[in-house]
Structure 1
Amino acid sequence: MLSAHFAPVLSFVIALLVAQPSWSEETCADSAVVPTHRLQTALSLPAGTVRPVVTLTRLQLSPDPTPTVVLDGVILPAKAGEAIRAAYFDVMARLVGIPVAVVVSADDPDRRGRLHGIIQLEGGESLGERILAAGAGLADVSFTPCAARFLAAETRARAEKRGIWQQSRIWTDLNAAATGLPDFVLGRGKVASIGRSGRTTYINFGGNFRTDATVRLRETMTSALIAAGRPPESFSGRMVEVRGWADRRNGLDMDLDSPLALQMPDAASDLRTD
């Protein structure tokens, strides 16, 4: 059963899922799919933060080359250490050979000849959801078509302490000095102040803007939060959790592009950092 600590977060995720446009619903539908390939293998992971990459074989003989697919919406963070690699390959080992369908997010391959998209399993669930539900990755909510569903799968794994959620070191402390940037960050900290300059809203995690972490909200992001009943001012003095790619501009600097990237898990039992 899902922990009561995560009920507000999951409710917000479900509400945003309902609001997704129709093309997003089709991309991440629960309905059964017609398989076109078999999952062949998960490729080895280079050092650092990466996206999963898998190879497929066609169900029927074809002169087309075996496709390689980069999974959208899933991040394997370096900060989780070897635990995430072990959890990821454990999941993939159980799925080798299963029939799947590919939904690409870009018509053309990348410069390495790889496709980008999601892989749907026969029952309608995606491979990304299976990985996240096992605690073997983080949801990248910048991939909007499946963001709400992927975050819901991650939330279940967190509540049940699966995979990487048995540890606390995956979080970055936003109230401490930033290290190891740029990188994909799952950060949390207490908001010191909220500021505005032009069309940008700033969430500050300290009083020294040259050294302390800052999260930027563009006008569209601020409007989306207000529409969801979560104006930026409501975060002041609260513990928040953010996710996304962060750079070092004096201190940690992150530009959020989705309301799902910003949460207030005050009561969550996993609120701790190393």
Structure 2
Amino acid sequence: MSSVRSIVLCLVLSMPAALPAEAQETCGNGSVTPTHRIGAPIPLPAATIRPVVTLIPLQADAPTLMVVLEGVVLPARAGAAARAIQTGVLAGLRDTPATFVASDEAPDRHGRRRGTVQFEGGDGLGERLLHAGAGLADVSFAPCADRFLAAEAQARAEKRGVWRQSRIWTDLNAAATGLPDFVLGRGKVASVGRSGRTTYINFGDNFRTDATVRLREALTSSLVAAGRPPESLSGRMIEVRGWARWRDGLDLELDTPAALRLWDEATDKGTD
């Protein structure tokens, strides 16, 4: 596992030794007793999506669930091939016994629940999708971030699914298009500045058009404590991920160390 983590987290930052009990339960660590079986795959739109899966109850008097999976995102720019992979994984798991672990008490306006889907062996549907290269890990879902990044790292190392193509990347040194969206960006840092409690990582000299990554104060403090102050990123190639919007160029706010790594220290640079 340590070798996988070295691929994923090239910024050496201290992570909690253990997740809180509630977070462990949300991620579904350990074996579970199945309550449902996975239904037929749902047609995927061309837009950026979180996987949605139908869970058929094992007991006749229980309701069918529509679940939006936490921690996995498939960007629109990944293309039709990546959607076919995701559909294939879900089709292959049809009728597999599983359990839904909720991350939110209330359904959304479409009646869907959010959470993870766990199997008897202790792994989950999110991990299997990421391992197949059928999506990107969304580390803003903290309970499963470590596990999901480890599954993604294996797909990256073996160039499975989305990792076979270069279009999964957003070039942070080029003009942004298609925002807002979930992006996996990489680029060379032009400068680093600070205003109030926010640290700005800039990818060009024109702050009205060039990409900017903003760090929350807690993340800046974590970097400093780990001996990697944000100022040390100037001139370096970095990789970031998260939901970006358009505000005088690409604008992305990070709040977790797992969302940022040094690209020029990475061992999986060969994605085409």
Please give the TM-score of this superposition, normalised by the length of structure 2: 0.92
Out of 240, 245, 263, the residue aligned to residue 242 of structure 1 is: 240
Task: Answer yes or no: is 1:176 the counterpart of 2:194.
Answer: no
CA contact (8 A) 1:55 1:67 kept: yes
Q: Give the aligned residue type for 2:239.
A: E
CA spacing shift, 1:35–1:215, aligned 2, 3 Å: same
CA spacing shift, 1:19–1:214, aligned 2, 3 Å: farther
Whole-angstrom distance in 2 between the partners of 1:17 and 1:146: 13
Whole-angstrom distance in 2 between the partners of 1:59 and 1:99: 8
CA contact (8 A) 1:5 1:269 kept: no
Unaligned runs of 5+ in 2: none
Q: Offset at 1:86?
A: 1.1
- Write out per-residue CA displacement over residues 102-154 of structure 1, whole angstroms, 9 at most, x where no aligned residue: 11011111111001000001101010000001100000011111111111111
Whole-angstrom distance in 2 between the partners of 1:11 and 1:232: 14
SS of the aligned residue for 1:100 comes to strand
SS of the aligned residue for 1:253 comes to strand
CA contact (8 A) 1:172 1:273 kept: no
Sequence identity (%): 64
Report the counterpart of residue 130 of structure 2 in structure 1.
Answer: 132
- 1:212-251 matches, within 5 Å, as 212-251=210-249
CA contact (8 A) 1:16 1:148 kept: no
Whole-angstrom distance in 2 between the partners of 1:29 and 1:109: 19
Q: Offset at 1:87?
A: 1.0
Whole-angstrom distance in 2 between the partners of 1:152 and 1:268: 14
CA spacing shift, 1:14–1:207, aligned 2, 3 Å: closer
Whole-angstrom distance in 2 between the partners of 1:25 and 1:234: 34
Q: Give the aligned residue type for 1:130.
A: R
CA contact (8 A) 1:174 1:189 kept: yes
Whole-angstrom distance in 2 between the partners of 1:58 and 1:180: 39
CA contact (8 A) 1:244 1:261 kept: yes
Out of 81, 96, 109, the residue aligned to residue 83 of structure 1 is: 81
- 1:199-214 matches, within 5 Å, as 199-214=197-212
Whole-angstrom distance in 2 between the partners of 1:55 and 1:10: 33
CA RMSD, 1 decimal = 2.3
- Comparing 130-139 with 256-265, greater Cα deviation is found at 256-265
Whole-angstrom distance in 2 between the partners of 1:235 and 1:52: 34
SS of the aligned residue for 2:156 comes to helix
Q: Offset at 1:218?
A: 1.4
Equivalenced residue count is 272
CA contact (8 A) 1:5 1:268 kept: no
- Write out per-residue CA displacement over residues 209-259 of structure 1, whole angstroms, 9 at most, x where no aligned residue: 111100011112212333344321221111000001111111111111211
Please give the TM-score of this superposition, normalised by the length of structure 1: 0.92
Q: Offset at 1:11?
A: 7.4
Whole-angstrom distance in 2 between the partners of 1:227 and 1:101: 39
Q: Give the aligned residue type for 2:232.
A: S
CA spacing shift, 1:83–1:31, aligned 2, 3 Å: same
Whole-angstrom distance in 2 between the partners of 1:105 and 1:8: 28
- Write out per-residue CA displacement over residues 181-209 of structure 1, whole angstroms, 9 at most, x where no aligned residue: 11111000000111000000000001111
Report the counterpart of residue 265 of structure 1 in structure 2.
Answer: 263
- Comparing 12-21 with 29-38, greater Cα deviation is found at 12-21
